[in-house]
Structure 1
Amino acid sequence: MAKIILITGGQRSGKSSHAQNMALQLSPNPIYLATSRIWDEEHQLRIERHKADRGNEWVNIEEEKELSKHKFEGKTVLIDCITLWLTNFFFDNDSAIEQSLEEAKAEFNVLVQQEATFIFVTNEIGLGGMPENPVQRKFTDLQGWMNQYIAERANEVYLMVSGIPLKVK
């Protein structure tokens, strides 16, 4: 049976740092499952900097959408992040919320059938008010619904506020 931990919060709230510390407490060699596509040169440099900051104890895997194709039995896996992962579905599906949500839920369900500890990092993008752009509103809805889906299934949920983890569940 999988153990699911969800860490959520705003941008630069300390989510990833907290998740990394938690993973290192659970395993000497955790897996870092990065979901981001490389959008431009600045983004590539940011990704390389993050990899270097993590250190050699991490096993790094980059996977844009098909997280469950990797075998994680008995491992501690940090998935960073759900927001970028959903972005990949959203763009590939031409902003179709229902299709993106269905595909992401199905992939999540297969992933967590593995007996492993999964630490998911996500963003609470809906805290900042109603986006002006219709595409942003659609994505905010998608993100909120997926966060709820994962949180409902999670053993533990943490909300990061200014670098401080608040246990929600």
Structure 2
Amino acid sequence: MRKIILVTGGQRSGKSSYAERTALSMTDNPVYVATAHIWDDEFRERVKRHQLGRGSNWTNIEEEKYLGNIDINGRVAVIDCITLWCTNFYFETQDIEKSLEMVKAEFDKFTSQDATFIFVTNEIGMGGTSENKVQRMFTDLLGWANQYIASKADEVIFMVSGIPMKIK
């Protein structure tokens, strides 16, 4: 049953909706793993709206960093999203190499389970180069994390304007 799917694309490209539909096509009771850190009230309200929109058939789990501690054996899970997950490590360490090592270790531990994993991420490096050093460094971190996950994935889907394009 173990399967890894990576859904990537730009902001508002339809990644999360596609990932959720994919999960529901595989099971009636999927898991939603939210990696976001709640920074403010507006974001907290956004999270609540998303949870209500998914419905009661979803098992919602919030975990900002340590995905390897979550037991989802035999389940189908959407992990949304790699971008925010990497942000949490980088915010703590302020070190790209250390953050990437931690992300890879948690990814490997988490995906060693017999489950279906549908990861959502952003392609933030497709635009111009930022003038901000921290943004440039984070873009590098996320790009390398995405490459690592894509190399381990059975399928990679690139979303453009709500249209899925199979890459792998």
Find the counterpart in structure 2 of residue 69 from structure 1: 69
SS in 2 for 1:74: coil
SS in 2 for 1:131: coil
Find the counterpart in structure 2 of residue 100 from structure 1: 99
**Following TM superposition, by how much is the alpha carbon of 1:70 offset from its aligned partner in structure 2, in angstroms?**
1.1
Find the counterpart in structure 2 of residue 29 from structure 1: 29
**Following TM superposition, by how much is the alpha carbon of 1:129 offset from its aligned partner in structure 2, in angstroms?**
1.3
| C-alpha distance in structure 1 between counterparts of 2:9 and 2:155, whole Å | 14
> Does 2:141 align with 1:136?
no
| C-alpha distance in structure 1 between counterparts of 2:113 and 2:103, whole Å | 17
| C-alpha distance in structure 1 between counterparts of 2:52 and 2:121, whole Å | 22
Q: Give the TM-score normalised by structure 2.
A: 0.99
Read off the aligned partner of 1:74 and give its amino acid letter: G
| C-alpha distance in structure 2 between counterparts of 1:56 and 1:72, whole Å | 18
| C-alpha distance in structure 1 between counterparts of 2:2 and 2:124, whole Å | 27
Read off the aligned partner of 2:159 and give its amino acid letter: M
Which consecutive residues of structure 2, in runs of 5 or more, have no partner in the other structure? none
| C-alpha distance in structure 2 between counterparts of 1:64 and 1:17, whole Å | 21
Read off the aligned partner of 2:7 and give its amino acid letter: I
Read off the aligned partner of 1:19 and give its amino acid letter: A
| C-alpha distance in structure 2 between counterparts of 1:25 and 1:99, whole Å | 37
| C-alpha distance in structure 2 between counterparts of 1:55 and 1:116, whole Å | 21
Spell out structure 1 runs of 4+ moving beyond 6 A: none
Find the counterpart in structure 2 of residue 151 from structure 1: 150
Q: Give the TM-score normalised by structure 1.
A: 0.98
SS in 2 for 1:146: helix
SS in 2 for 1:56: coil
| C-alpha distance in structure 2 between counterparts of 1:53 and 1:130, whole Å | 35
Aligned length: 168
| C-alpha distance in structure 2 between counterparts of 1:137 and 1:16, whole Å | 25
| C-alpha distance in structure 2 between counterparts of 1:73 and 1:51, whole Å | 22
| C-alpha distance in structure 2 between counterparts of 1:27 and 1:137, whole Å | 39
Read off the aligned partner of 1:64 and give its amino acid letter: E
SS in 1 for 2:88: helix
Find the counterpart in structure 1 of residue 87 from structure 2: 87
Find the counterpart in structure 2 of residue 112 from structure 1: 111
The percent identity for this pair of structures is 61
Read off the aligned partner of 1:160 and give its amino acid letter: M
Alignment RMSD: 0.7
